[in-house]
Amino acid sequence: MFCSAVLRSGTRSLEHVFPDWILRHFRIGDHVISPQAWKGTSVVSAVRRHPLAAFRLGGICAGCNNGWMSALEQNVKPSLLALSKGERHLSDLTHLEQRTLSRWAAKTALVLHAATYSDQVIPRPLYPLLRSQPKQLPTGLAVLAIQTPDLADDLLAVTAIQSDRFLIFSRPGTASDPVRWKISLRVGILQLLVSYCSDAAWTPVGWRDVHKALWPTQMTLFYAAGLRRDLVTTRKESGTVLFHISLGIAAGLVQAEIELLPRPPLEQELERFFTSPRK
Ligand SMILES: [Zn+2]
């Protein structure tokens, strides 16, 4: 998937979607999960149940798995664990740590995406670019993060969400409808969000003081949400879902124009995520 190696016995390997060292560290490898996918109101993936440790992806060669992917796991481990427990803060990361964390988030998100969707949105030719360009991320990917220390204690140490839900900032009728996708990964209190957009005319728009840009290292467009907490129902993973859906994309607008737009309907979007179409 990430290189041109021909897979046969001896070169074939299985990559853990959630890395083995994370499952062992948090002792959650035997936790049974049931990943599902929806399109509209229908479930499009077979409902399956298996332990987290068995959530693995083929199509990756042993050279990649034991080479650059393994090195990336080793390199990210100290900062990822400290961030996931709140022992370090995102703003203290060095530039190199930030790049390593971004590449790890992108790698994990791409593996998760391929493992969960047979009809995947993020194009396969983007995968080898992640391996072949070690100092950057493929064009079209952005990585955002936040730490949410007030997370409930009884949550599983890792969760993931994927969707195509972006807040859209554009003038009506002026922009195309780009192919887009988002993948959220939470490890402990660290929320990571990997966003993909096929069209460079669109730029990510963050929720001010919420989305911290990891890659690219600066975000140019922000909106003020002024979330009305009295209008939303607090649910177990509301914080994770809110971080996921609140990232927007803009085309043809500068910051001053975004400031003048009406406040985005975040409360409705959040309720909609939980209540439809997956009822
Ligand atoms: Zn390979």
Spacing, Cα 35 to ligand 1 middle (Å):
26
3 assigned to some structural domain: no
Spacing, Cα 15 to ligand 1 middle (Å):
11
Spacing, Cα 239 to ligand 1 middle (Å):
36
Spacing, Cα 62 to ligand 1 middle (Å):
7
Spacing, Cα 109 to ligand 1 middle (Å):
17
CA 238/CA 275 separation, integer angstroms: 12
Preceding omega of 216 cis (within 30 degrees of 0): yes
CA 271/CA 37 separation, integer angstroms: 19
pLDDT tier, 279 (very low <50, low <70, confident <90, very high otherwise): very low
88 assigned to some structural domain: yes
Query: Read out DSSP for 154-202?
Result: TS-SEEEEEE---EEES-TTSS----EEEEEEEETTEEEEEEEES-TTE
Query: Read out DSSP for 26-59?
Result: HT-TT-EE----EETTEE-S----EEGGG-EEEE
- Percent of the chain whose predicted confidence (pLDDT) is above 70: 96
Spacing, Cα 14 to ligand 1 middle (Å):
11
Spacing, Cα 134 to ligand 1 middle (Å):
14
4 assigned to some structural domain: no
1 assigned to some structural domain: no
Question: Which pLDDT tens digit goes with each residue over 227-255?
Answer: 888 888 888 888 899 999 999 999 999 99
5 assigned to some structural domain: no
C-beta separation of 147 from 90 below 8 A: yes
Report the predicted TM-score, pTM, of the whole model to 2 decimal places.
Answer: 0.94
Spacing, Cα 12 to ligand 1 middle (Å):
9
The amino acid at 246? S
Q: Break the chain down into helix, strand, coil percent, rounded to 5.
A: 35, 25, 45
Q: Which domain holds residue 149?
A: 12-275
Spacing, Cα 118 to ligand 1 middle (Å):
20
Spacing, Cα 33 to ligand 1 middle (Å):
28
Spacing, Cα 190 to ligand 1 middle (Å):
29
Spacing, Cα 110 to ligand 1 middle (Å):
14
264 assigned to some structural domain: yes
Spacing, Cα 5 to ligand 1 middle (Å):
5
Spacing, Cα 40 to ligand 1 middle (Å):
35
Phi/psi-derived region of residue 179, left when phi > 0, alpha when psi is between -120 and 50, beta in every other case: beta
Spacing, Cα 131 to ligand 1 middle (Å):
9
Spacing, Cα 114 to ligand 1 middle (Å):
15
Q: What is the mean pLDDT of the chain?
A: 91
Spacing, Cα 25 to ligand 1 middle (Å):
26
Residue 278 has pLDDT above 60, yes or no: no
Total domains, the chain: 1
117 assigned to some structural domain: yes
Residue 224 has pLDDT above 60, yes or no: yes
Question: Which pLDDT tens digit goes with each residue over 103-121?
Answer: 999 999 999 999 988 889 9
262 assigned to some structural domain: yes
pLDDT tier, 40 (very low <50, low <70, confident <90, very high otherwise): low
68-84 and 95-116 helices, crossing angle to 10°? 110
Spacing, Cα 1 to ligand 1 middle (Å):
7
Spacing, Cα 103 to ligand 1 middle (Å):
16
Spacing, Cα 58 to ligand 1 middle (Å):
11
